[in-house]
């Protein structure tokens, strides 16, 4: 066996950075699977994973992953250096298959079970994948049907079905594990990964943004991705006594880099929730008493507050309730503290790398109003005037740009994206609006929206999240989303979608205007239309799907024009 080849379209870390990160002990000079196995070996018989009522020790989890890796290789289903697509839910087989691919020196592509055949097909062609690992019993057989369609269309040549009968001529998950157990226990291909190539060799492919056009795929490289997980575990103070409840999709950057891999490095226990259903989460909290629930989207936090059962459940064991994905309204943070007893922390992270988190000991002013500071002392942040490389002053809104020991240097096979997404000296332009806050406690950052989430009302710019934060201060509003609606005169005007408290009178443009003006908002930022809805649409990872709201208001406006 030989080390997997380096794809020509990966942007490597420069030699000076590699040397500096290794000298500082941030990078280990070893592959990601080697790092994970070394860490897991220290924890042996301790519980690593709890899923569907079964507990897996570190030894059991890695042994099963090794058997699957040998079975995949022996059957020719994967080859070292190949990417492998995933469509699996939050089950133990997902963790095993992810680790098994790493041990086979194949690169998992962290696609979601919510993706359709179009997205999977686009991504498989983009990364050059020929194999899909799928879950038979997810979505009442939907994933199996999608896999069959991809196989029949020639997009995928091999489908490995877990938790069900095999599809086509490829052995199923169970058959591969059994075949791997019968293989000789020789070295697995991950051992052949040359440490001189790890700064340029993808270990995992993560997805960034949408997949409607050319996919933006972040190649996460061996040493940096391992460091990402280790530094997160340190930031969250994870140890062998930590039980973490994870409610979001595991096969996502957040699931891997804040859930599975930190657990393996820290010797903690990952309790995998099959869904983010509130009753399911409360059942798991009551049974397992987790200390940490990371990367909860604000929408899930609101649903917990609305649940009568949550207010009757003993939640005192939860040490940290870490919210990410979207800006958290300070009022929601205060309610989580007062009503459920949570110590709320916020974080900001991305598939491309950079993580920020509020320190555990920080004041509520920091934890409730910022996303904290970078998790690594080697992280670098600039707040730039949008469209330039000029830094703005402290406290001024600008574009968040990042560089560091676990932030990618370029997207995979995406020269056009790379030209627009990186500065001349390698800082990644995130597209997020942010500001730097210099306080007596330290330097922290707030995320104030997306550049694309700015409403251009004539010559005036309206930052959606600024207005949303004030809207949800209204005692009758559960949550809100401000979006751009098309206008023939000004180009865009602001429309507010509101979810009201049960029994509350719906806000109108007039009553919402009075509320916003009462909080000092400028008149040009006022919403000019209000839509009351029972819930806001969410993306696969719990963020508000503003694209769907923009489509909805466009349809409403078009229908109104036709009626007139």
pLDDT at 308: 95
* pLDDT value of residue 1: 53
Encoded tokens for 509 = 């443009």
Read off the pLDDT of each residue in 378-394 and give the average, rounded to a whole number.
96
Alpha carbon distances (Å) from 204 to 58, 102, 169, 174: 21, 8, 27, 24
% of the chain at pLDDT higher than 90:
79
Is pLDDT at 530 greater than 80 in this prediction? yes
Number of H helices and number of E strands within the chain? Answer: 18, 24
Q: Please say whether the beta carbons of 104 and 84 come within 8 A.
A: no
Structure tokens at 319: 């040490």
Read off the pLDDT band of 209 (50, 70, 90).
low
pLDDT, average across residues 401-427? 94
Q: Which of 433, 54, 110, 475 is nearest to 274 (CA)?
A: 54
Of the chain, the percentage scoring pLDDT greater than 70 comes to 98
Stretch 261-276: mean pLDDT: 97
Mean pLDDT, rounded, of the chain? 92
Asked if 280 and 300 count as a contact pair (C-beta separation under 8 A), the reply is no
- In the chain, the domains with their CATH numbers are 15-224 (3.40.50.980), 286-451 (3.40.50.12780), 458-563 (3.30.300.30)
Determine how many CB atoms are found less than 10 A away from the CB of residue 120. 27
- Gap between the Cα atoms of 4 and 102, Å rounded: 12
Length of the chain: 564
Q: What is the pLDDT of residues 496-513, one digit of tens each?
A: 999 999 999 999 999 999
Between CA 548 and CA 554 the distance in angstroms is: 10
Sheet bearing 442-450, strands edge to edge: 380-384, 398-403, 428-439, 442-450
* Residue 148, token pair as written in the block: 């069959």
* Weakest mean pLDDT among 48-52, 467-471, 530-534: 467-471
Instruction: Find out whether 324 and 235 touch, Cβ atoms under 8 Å.
Output: no
Q: What is the pLDDT of residue 215?
A: 62
Confidence of residue 522 (pLDDT cuts 50, 70, 90): confident
Average pLDDT over residues 541-554: 87
Range picked from 3-7, 198-202, 300-304, 323-327 for highest mean pLDDT: 198-202
**How much is the pLDDT for 213?**
46
What confidence score (pLDDT) does residue 210 get? Answer: 44
Task: For residue 214, give the DSSP letter.
Answer: S
**What tens digit of pLDDT does each residue of 458-473 get?**
767 788 888 998 999 9
pLDDT in tens, 178-195: 999 988 777 899 999 999
Whole-structure pTM value: 0.85
User: What pLDDT sits at residue 478?
Assistant: 93
Separation between Cα atoms, residue 279 and residue 473, nearest integer Å: 27
On the question of pLDDT at 229 being above 80, the answer is yes
Specify the pLDDT at position 461. Answer: 77
Using DSSP bridges, classify how beta strands 353-357 and 373-374 pair: parallel, antiparallel or unpaired: antiparallel
Predicted confidence (pLDDT) at residue 211 exceeds the cutoff of 50: no
């Amino acid at each position: 066996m030989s080390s997997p080849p380096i794809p020509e379209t990966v942007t490597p870390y420069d030699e000076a950075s590699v040397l500096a990160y290794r000298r500082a002990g941030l990078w280990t000079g070893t592959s990601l699977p080697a790092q994970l196995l070394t860490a897991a070996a220290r924890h042996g018989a301790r519980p690593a994973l709890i899923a569907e009522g079964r507990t897996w020790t570190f030894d059991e989890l890695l042994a099963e992953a090794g058997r699957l890796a040998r079975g995949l290789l022996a059957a020719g289903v994967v080859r070292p250096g190949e990417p492998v697509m995933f469509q699996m839910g939050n089950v133990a087989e997902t963790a095993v298959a992810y680790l098994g691919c790493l041990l086979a020196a194949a690169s998992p592509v962290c696609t979601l079970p919510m993706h359709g055949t179009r997205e999977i097909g686009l991504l498989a062609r983009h990364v050059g994948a020929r194999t899909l690992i799928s879950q038979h019993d997810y979505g009442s057989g939907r994933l199996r049907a999608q896999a069959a369609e991809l196989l029949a269309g020639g997009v995928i040549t091999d489908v490995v079905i877990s938790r069900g009968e095999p599809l086509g001529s490829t052995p199923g998950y169970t058959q591969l594990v059994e075949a791997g157990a019968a293989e000789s226990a020789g070295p697995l291909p991950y051992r052949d990964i040359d440490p001189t190539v790890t700064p340029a060799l993808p270990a995992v492919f993560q997805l960034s943004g949408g997949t409607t056009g050319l996919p933006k795929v972040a190649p996460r490289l061996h040493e940096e991705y391992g460091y990402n997980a280790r530094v997160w575990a340190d930031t969250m103070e994870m140890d062998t006594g930590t039980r973490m409840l994870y409610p979001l999709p595991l096969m996502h950057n957040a699931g891997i880099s804040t859930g599975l891999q930190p657990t393996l490095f820290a010797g903690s226990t990952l309790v995998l929730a099959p869904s983010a259903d509130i009753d399911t989460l409360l059942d798991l909290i009551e049974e397992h008493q987790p200390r940490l629930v990371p990367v909860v989207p604000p929408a899930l936090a609101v649903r917990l507050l609305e649940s009568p059962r949550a207010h009757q459940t003993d939640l005192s064991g939860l040490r940290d309730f870490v919210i990410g994905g979207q800006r958290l309204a300070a009022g929601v943070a205060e309610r989580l503290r007062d009503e459920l007893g949570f110590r709320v922390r916020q974080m900001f992270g991305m598939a491309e790398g950079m993580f920020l988190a509020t320190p555990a000991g920080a004041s509520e002013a920091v934890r409730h109003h910022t996303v904290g500071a970078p998790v690594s002392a080697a992280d670098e942040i600039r707040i730039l005037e949008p469209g330039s490389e000029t830094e703005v002053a402290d406290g001024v809104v600008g574009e968040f740009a990042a560089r560091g020991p676990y932030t990618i240097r370029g997207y995979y096979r995406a020269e056009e994206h790379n030209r627009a997404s990186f500065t001349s000296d390698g800082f990644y332009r995130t597209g997020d609006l942010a500001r730097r806050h210099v306080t007596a406690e330290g330097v922290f950052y707030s995320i104030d929206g997306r550049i694309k989430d700015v409403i251009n009302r004539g010559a005036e710019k309206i930052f959606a999240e600024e207005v949303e934060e004030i809207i949800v201060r209204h005692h009758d509003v559960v949550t809100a989303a401000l979006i751009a609606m098309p206008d023939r005169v000004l180009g865009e005007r602001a429309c507010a979608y509101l979810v009201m408290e049960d029994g509350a009178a719906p806000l109108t443009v007039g009553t919402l205007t009075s509320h916003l003006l009462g909080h000092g908002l400028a008149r040009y930022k006022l919403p000019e239309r209000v839509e009351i809805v029972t819930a806001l649409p969410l993306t696969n990872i719990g963020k508000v799907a503003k694209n769907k709201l923009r489509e909805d208001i466009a349809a409403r406006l078009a229908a109104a024009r036709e009626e007139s």
